[in-house]
Structure 1
Amino acid sequence: MNFENILSSSENGITTITINRPSKLNALNKATIEELHQAFDVANKAAETKVIIVTGSGEKAFVAGADISEFSNFSVENGGKLAAKGQEILFDFVQNLNTPVIAAVNGFALGGGLELAMAAHFRIASDNAKMGLPEVSLGVIPGYGGTQRLPQLVGKGRAMEMVMTAGMIDAATALSYGLVNHVVSQEELLPLAQKLASKIMRNSSVAISKAIQAVNANYTDGVNGFETEIEQFGACFGTQDFKEGTTAFLEKRKADFPGK
């Protein structure tokens, strides 16, 4: 599949999706959001893809925000539709994928860029990364899940400060907040993402997808996460991966999961 604003490549079970608008610091416009949806959907449905890495092109930006020129003249109704559609086709979509998604934050992750990183299942960052939600400086609030996911990750007080001040935090601060899991040099960022992906791929992809559902349930309004965990735990017993994993353990050998 050919894209104008992103790159997508697959190798050894890993699909790497790269936002590729360097002249715009990889800002998210409508077309890029649509292409990202398509790329994530294709990767998630591909049996050979076990992990997805999302990153930005160049060394300056992961995604430096949304393309403000596209919505500066929107009405109240259009603004609401913009947020709703974006959350549906990209941000919520990524969070709920069965395939693990690692965000490799390689520079500025601002506004929609940080919201995309937070929609991933976890994040790593280069030491030059800067993160923030500057929307209130434009007279608007984060609309792609930022007011919900940031408090879940860093706590209410820190999230309130970041949103209200519209300020940026550096990679070291993001690490101390728990917003990212690891900070490395720019050169080490993708190799680390690939190393983590390789560790993930040693395990049952079926069990991982069920774990994603169970963890996400805890943050879904009206859903009892414990009940979801019980349901998904039970469902594992009917999978070929469970049979292979337990048999391999008892036979003291490495499991060869069929992914079924």
Structure 2
Amino acid sequence: MSAVHLQIDGPIAQIVLDNPAKLNAFTPEMLAALEAHCTTLERAGGVLGVIVRSEGDRAFCAGADIKAWAGLSPFDFARHWVREGHRIFDRLARLSKPTIAVIHAPAFGGGLELAAACDIRVMAPSATLALPEAQVGIVPGWSGTQRLARLIPEPVLKEMALFGRRLDAARAHGLGFVAEVADDPLAMAESIAARLAHASPRAVEVAKYQIHAGVGEDRAAMIEALGGGMIGASADRAEGVAAFAEKRKPIFPAS
């Protein structure tokens, strides 16, 4: 059984990392489960938002399980571990439903990249953020130097990635990377997510697409999704489908 669970109970789903003995560090099986859960959520009717959290008191996520990649050849490390992890985190980032990361404890390396892939983040006062990859002879590989560069000022990101400096909750909040700092971050995240019940799911989804197109998060796909939605709601689409089914030429109105 995977150590990443999906809980759907009402309009707010939860993705839960449940490998506290290893500080919720990602294994290949956990990455595969995360990707599968994203696919399930994309097609889950009635789900308005997603909370990403983890079990255990010691870490939100310590990143990638070193034992899972230490024995890989350089080519396999780049081709499989880095590229597949990057693709799966992108899948989470581009989920059509809003996502909230609950950082109740340290989020290091891939754990910070996981939180960055969510739309907003809620953090406990004692939690910290770090990119310690250089200390083990590697570099961030799951968007730590790319997506994070859009979310954290360049000098701060360099402090973390080059010098190993940790970012505390107060500074992360001041930089806008964290939406709220709360003693009970899960309760805060649930309170924020509850507001989705009073918003149009379609409007929320389109707004997320627009923002992603604006900041460069898979801009090409977001623009085409917006265009597809616009034409899909038009009379032209209905006429084109009907004409195809009836084996005739379509008659599109001029306006």
- Do both proteins adopt the same fold according to a TM-score greater than 0.5, normalized to the shorter chain? yes
Alignment partner of 1:195 is 2:199: no
Alignment partner of 1:68 is 2:63: no
Q: Name the CA shift for 1:44/1:224 in 2 (closer, same or farther; >3 Å).
A: closer
**SS in structure 2 opposite 1:210?**
helix
The answer to whether the Cα contact below 8 Å between 1:175 and 1:182 also exists between their aligned partners in 2 is yes
The answer to whether the Cα contact below 8 Å between 1:214 and 1:232 also exists between their aligned partners in 2 is no
Alignment partner of 1:214 is 2:213: no
Q: CA offsets per residue over residues 64-85 of structure 1, 9 Å max, x none?
A: 1110111113222112112111
The answer to whether the Cα contact below 8 Å between 1:207 and 1:236 also exists between their aligned partners in 2 is no
The answer to whether the Cα contact below 8 Å between 1:210 and 1:232 also exists between their aligned partners in 2 is no
User: What residue in structure 2 maps to residue 248 of structure 1?
Assistant: none
User: What residue in structure 1 maps to residue 242 of structure 2?
Assistant: none
* 1:147 shift after superposition: 0.2
User: What residue in structure 2 maps to residue 87 of structure 1?
Assistant: 86
Q: What code does the residue aligned with 1:170 have? A: D
Q: Which has the larger radius of gyration?
A: 2
User: What residue in structure 2 maps to residue 100 of structure 1?
Assistant: 98
Q: What code does the residue aligned with 1:64 have? A: A
- Equivalent pairs: percent with the same residue? 29
Q: CA offsets per residue over residues 143-198 of structure 1, 9 Å max, x none?
A: 0001012221111111111110122221112111222110001xx21111111111
* 1:238 shift after superposition: 4.1
User: What residue in structure 1 maps to residue 135 of structure 2?
Assistant: 137
Measure, in 2, the Cα distance between the counterparts of 1:54 and 1:101: 7
**SS in structure 1 opposite 2:14?**
strand
Q: CA offsets per residue over residues 17-41 of structure 1, 9 Å max, x none?
A: 1100010011111111111111222
Measure, in 1, the Cα distance between the counterparts of 2:216 and 2:70: 31
* 1:219 shift after superposition: 3.2
* 1:47 shift after superposition: 0.4
Q: What code does the residue aligned with 1:202 have? A: H
Measure, in 2, the Cα distance between the counterparts of 1:141 and 1:87: 13
Segments of 5+ residues of structure 2 without an aligned counterpart are: 235-255
Which portions of structure 1, spanning 4 or more consecutive aligned residues, are displaced by more than 2 angstroms?
A: 73-76, 218-225, 231-239
* 1:234 shift after superposition: 8.3
Counterpart selection for 1:43 from 41, 44, 69:
41
What RMSD in Å do the two structures reach over aligned CA positions?
A: 2.5
User: What residue in structure 2 maps to residue 117 of structure 1?
Assistant: 115
Measure, in 1, the Cα distance between the counterparts of 2:123 and 2:38: 21
User: What residue in structure 2 maps to residue 4 of structure 1?
Assistant: 2
Measure, in 2, the Cα distance between the counterparts of 1:58 and 1:236: 47
Measure, in 2, the Cα distance between the counterparts of 1:22 and 1:161: 28
Measure, in 2, the Cα distance between the counterparts of 1:22 and 1:36: 16
Q: What code does the residue aligned with 2:129 have? A: M
* 1:8 shift after superposition: 2.2
Measure, in 1, the Cα distance between the counterparts of 2:23 and 2:150: 27
Q: What code does the residue aligned with 1:190 have? A: L
Measure, in 2, the Cα distance between the counterparts of 1:211 and 1:47: 19
Q: Name the CA shift for 1:78/1:206 in 2 (closer, same or farther; >3 Å).
A: same
Q: CA offsets per residue over residues 94-146 of structure 1, 9 Å max, x none?
A: 11110111101110100000000000111111112111111011111100001
The answer to whether the Cα contact below 8 Å between 2:212 and 2:219 also exists between their aligned partners in 1 is no
Measure, in 1, the Cα distance between the counterparts of 2:193 and 2:217: 30
**How many matched pairs?**
233
Alignment partner of 1:235 is 2:234: no
**SS in structure 1 opposite 2:60?**
strand
User: What residue in structure 2 maps to residue 27 of structure 1?
Assistant: 25
Q: Name the CA shift for 1:131/1:220 in 2 (closer, same or farther; >3 Å).
A: same
Segments of 5+ residues of structure 1 without an aligned counterpart are: 240-260
Measure, in 2, the Cα distance between the counterparts of 1:182 and 1:101: 14
